[in-house]
Amino acid sequence: MSLRNTVRAFPTLLRVGVAEALAYRAELLIWVLSTTMPFIMMALWTAVAREAPVGPYTQQGFVGYFLATFVVRQLTGAWAAWQINYEVRQGTLAMRLLRPISPLWAYAAENLGAVPMRTLVAVPVAVLSVLVVGEQAVPREWWGWPLLLVALLGSWLITFLANVCIGAMSLFMESSRHVMDVWLVLFFVLSGYMFPVKVLPAWMATLVDWLPFRYQISLPVEVMTGVRTLPETLMLLGRQWIWVLLLGTLAVTLWRRGLRRFAAYGG
Amino acid sequence: MISVRGLRKHYKVHKRPPGLKAAFRSLFHRDYTTVKAVDGISFEIQPGERVGFLGPNGAGKTTTLKVLSGLLHPSEGEVRVDGHVPRHREVAYLKKIMLVMGQKQQLLWDLPPAETFELNRAVYDVPREQFKQTLDELVALLELEELIQKPSRQLSLGERMKCELAAALIHRPKVLFLDEPTIGLDVSMQVTMRSFIKAYTERHGATLILTSHYMDDVAALCPRIIVIDKGVLTYDGGLQALVQRVRPEKRVVFRLERPVEAASLASLGRVVSHEPGSAVLQVPPEAVSATISRALSSLPVTDLTVENAPLEEVMSELFAETKARRATADGEGAP
């Protein structure tokens, strides 16, 4: 589909995505419950910081960090890898491929369609964070707000495109769900989801800076909690969007090559 | 409109015997075998033609439809549909075709069909006015008014298939690939679907390829049929011509006033069925008149009709013929 037609069709795809998210509200609630890890980590790390701060984080710092982590995770989640795996195995991807628009746009719209519902969960937590930790819960400089939106968009794109890359692998191997499991383990450990990257040893923090995971959670959380200067933020955003471009190129390449092998199983 | 030349689609399939030992062995060494789903078929279809694509299970019918609709890349051969190469999946091509698979759905499961229709309007870029006109027509012809606002999951199979068909036609495709569109439907729903499909193709001059295990679908819709078996084309021509070739004998169906002796029927022709109030005889076409006049003079006939053998029997005989020919050829080829 031409870009113009895709842009014209996308609002309808999004609207249908939102309608589907509303239809699956029970499932969404269960997903939200499964993302409460930041609250558990918050309890753990605030206990550790009772005696003395851990790195730059006091008890209150950890509270602000993990509440922001919860909010970022809600707003930037994607599950296209599971969808693609399922549809490749069942052959139902065929029905998407018959339409004159790339299924990747449809997956994007369906994944983004859940954001309004998740915002309903995220906003009260963000308000709670402001009440508990005060101004440290939100950007303190004016530039922090637009850059937070850029960071959240970049984070969603990395998550979604990594999902597409891994999902597209199922077109080469019979199932890539276990690849997704490996990705998730790395994500939990290296993204800042379970602990801030700033508490890592310097050599490891440097390594993490060059991997995509910290741009999924840690960067938006850092921008939200205002712990970075403008030059630092811009540099990290630059790296984040380099990952967006790399993963975008890889996703499109894997997808196109994989489709040549698509067997469209089943009647 | 459709041109297929030497189409082959071969798959490499991993073969593993049952059992734990074989499972572990397959970790280190895998045996592959090549499945020839389609093995060198060629045919041409003119614009507006309605063609039945027949064959036993696993013959390669659905694989061919998937290649024609651009879902599968052929292993070999040349395929063109209305000037397009399907595997390129150009937008202009996808807007001209639709593949409806009776066992796959495009309706959004938890949303009403109206949402799928609207989604298709957007992705096919159908102008609002045309969308409204097409939808009104489809709703009236398929009697969908009560259905399109209910979640798809709450519709019966027949209702869902009607909505599937409507969703597939929102963009008025020029080429329809229908793969078992009436599977699982009751007889009256099958009739509704058939007459709708026929009306659509006639009204829009659309080309149709239909696969179905219900021979009534084929008889009602397709003057021409293509038969494939084990990936090889075994017949391409008129439906009547196939019946004449495979089973030229006619069936004479008698309604009887009272029961008759089996022996009195057997003297007239081969008895296909015999019940107290009716009998069916199979006779060569040239003997039909003579058989009828003998029957009228010797049996208490109240009514009679002359028919061809049921299409199911014709097809089953054709498949058996092909299988026997293949077995002979394999035997001759063996060392």
Tell me the pLDDT tens digit for each residue of A210-245. Answer: 999 999 999 999 999 998 999 999 999 999 999 999
Torsion sign across C-alpha atoms B328, B329, B330, B332 = positive
Over range B142-162, report the average pLDDT.
89
Are the beta carbons of B73 and A260 separated by less than 8 Å? yes
State whether B194 and B255 are in the same domain.
no
Here the CATH number for the domain that contains residue B266 is 3.30.70.980
State whether B232 and B253 are in the same domain.
no
State whether B74 and B123 are in the same domain.
yes
Q: Which residues of B touch A98 (CB under 8 A)?
A: 69-71, 94, 97-99, 106
Q: Does B76 touch chain A (CB under 8 A)?
A: no
Are the beta carbons of B104 and A266 separated by less than 8 Å? yes
* Inter-chain CB pairs, A–B, below 8 Å: 84
Please report the pLDDT score of residue A123 as a whole number: 93
Q: Is residue B168 part of a domain?
A: yes
Are B7 and B67 in contact, with CB atoms under 8 Å apart? yes
Q: Which residues of A touch B115 (CB under 8 A)?
A: 16, 19
Task: Please give the ipTM for the structure prediction.
Answer: 0.82
| Full-model pTM | 0.85
Dihedral Cα B325, B329, B330, B335, nearest 10 deg: 160
State whether B257 and B221 are in the same domain.
no
Please report the pLDDT score of residue A28 as a whole number: 76
Residues 6 or more apart in contact with residue B51 via CB below 8 angstroms: B45, B208, B209, B210, B222, B224, B225, B226
| Position B330 pLDDT exceeds 80 | no
Query: Domain limits at B144?
Result: 2-10+41-243
State whether B239 and B254 are in the same domain.
no
State whether B193 and B212 are in the same domain.
yes
State whether B71 and B115 are in the same domain.
yes
Are the beta carbons of A98 and B73 separated by less than 8 Å? no
Please report the pLDDT score of residue A1 as a whole number: 59
Residues 6 or more apart in contact with residue B29 via CB below 8 angstroms: none
Closest Cα in chain B to A23: B110
Are the beta carbons of A267 and B180 separated by less than 8 Å? yes
CA distance A45 to chain B (A): 42
Q: Does B120 touch chain A (CB under 8 A)?
A: yes
Q: What percent of chain A has pLDDT over 90?
A: 74
pLDDT < 70 regions, chain A = 1, 264-267
Are the beta carbons of A100 and B95 separated by less than 8 Å? yes
Could you tell me the residue ranges of all domains in chain A? 3-259
3 state DSSP class of B116: helix
Mutation pick from B123, B131, B211 vs chain A, by most beta carbons of A within 10 Å, is B123
State whether B140 and B263 are in the same domain.
no
